[in-house]
Amino acid sequence: MGFPAVSWKLRELVLRLLRPLFRLGLQSAPVVVGKLRPLAGHGSEGVLGGGNSEDVPPPELWENYADDPAQYLADGRVDMDSVMALLAKHGIAQPRVAMDLGCAAGRMVRHFPRGEGAEVWGADIGGPYIAWCQRNLPGINFVTVSTAPHLPFADGYFDFVFCASVFTHITDLADAWLLEIRRILKPGGHVYLTVHDKVSYRQLLAKNAQTGLGTFLERVHDFERRHRVANADCDMFFFGSDPASQVFYDREFITRKWSRWMELVAYEGQFHNYQSAMLLRKAD
């Protein structure tokens, strides 16, 4: 004879009591396998808003990229146009199937040029970002993913993947993420990504708190006071925990390592604000 069934109300009560403790344990642990962490505010209940569509997401989804809606739209277009100009500079045709990995609320991907037959995707670990995009940016596909290096697409699906200010926040699993992107790229496909390098770090050290970077700059200066890495011979350094870490590379180190797996087409210093851009190609 089996155990008596536990009512769903009792089950929900137990889960509601245990979930904050479980989340606290993950967030405080120094190492979590795969860095698969629950997102803030995640729970067993929720209501997805309705109403009319919006042109611009609410400010809490802007990721500090702008001070007003007009600037949010304009800066997103400028950043997307700069990526497309980089492709054109290197003779790369307009991609037909593309994805913005780490799209947030669609700041850049909404401006991706879409010709006839184009298929464009946005992916992010933040459910609220994706929910807003799915409601308000028709014509683009959006999907929520996790911090684990897995994307729900077949091998060789995309012509182009772009991810601005994403690898700047991945420590242990950066290589695995690059290889996962390589998997979903078609032979001859390209990935655009940005990284912090030592030049970025020294530029940040030269800035003051009034630049709008606030707490981030404070942490950079505090890290330098404790470790003195600005002119040190090191391949990589970071602070913080994924997916909110800040990772810095030596340019020669990261280009040499990733060039073993994909062809380095271009490395553009300080291309995305203070971040440098890498354009890589999957072999035919």
Contact between residue 141 and residue 119 where contact means Cβ atoms under 8 Å apart: yes
Split at pLDDT 50, 70, 90, the class of 100 is: very high
* 268 backbone dihedrals φ, ψ, rounded to 5°: -115, 110
H/E stretch holding 205 reads: helix 198-206
Split at pLDDT 50, 70, 90, the class of 238 is: very high
Sign, Cα dihedral of 164, 170, 175, 180: negative
Burial of 13 (0-12, 13-18, 19+ CB in 10 A): exposed
CA distance 189 to 159: 5
Residues 6 or more apart whose Cβ sits within 8 Å of residue 85: none
Average pLDDT (224-229) is 95
Residue type, 140: I
245 DSSP 8-state letter:
-
Q: Looking at residue 26, what is its pLDDT?
A: 44
- Looking at the domain 63-196+238-281, which fold is it? Rossmann fold (3.40.50)
Q: Which 3 state secondary structure label does DSSP give 34?
A: helix
Q: What pLDDT, in 10s, does the model give residues 151-204?
A: 999 999 999 999 999 999 999 999 999 999 999 999 999 999 999 999 999 999
Q: Name the more confident of 31 and 246.
A: 246
Q: Look up residue 257 and give its two tokens.
A: 């390592």
Beta bridge mates, 195: 276
Residues 6 or more apart whose Cβ sits within 8 Å of residue 216: 204, 246
Residues 6 or more apart whose Cβ sits within 8 Å of residue 284: 187, 188
Split at pLDDT 50, 70, 90, the class of 35 is: very low
CA distance 9 to 15: 10
Average pLDDT (268-273) is 91
Average pLDDT, the chain: 86
Cα end-to-end span (Å), the chain: 61
Q: Look up residue 265 and give its two tokens.
A: 């087409």
The rounded percent of the chain whose pLDDT value lies above 90 is: 70
- Residue ranges covered by each domain of the chain: 63-196+238-281
Model confidence, pTM: 0.83
Q: What pLDDT, in 10s, does the model give residues 49-76?
A: 676 778 999 989 888 788 899 999 999 9
The rounded percent of the chain whose pLDDT value lies above 70 is: 80
Split at pLDDT 50, 70, 90, the class of 258 is: very high
Q: Residue 110's closest CA among 142, 88, 86?
A: 142
Q: Residue 161's closest CA among 106, 212, 115, 120?
A: 120
Split at pLDDT 50, 70, 90, the class of 219 is: very high
* Other CB atoms within 10 A of residue 166 CB: 21
Average pLDDT (221-243) is 94
Contact between residue 284 and residue 276 where contact means Cβ atoms under 8 Å apart: no
CA 245 to chain centre: 11
Split at pLDDT 50, 70, 90, the class of 244 is: confident
> Does 119 have pLDDT greater than 50?
yes
Q: Residue 125's closest CA among 214, 42, 219?
A: 42
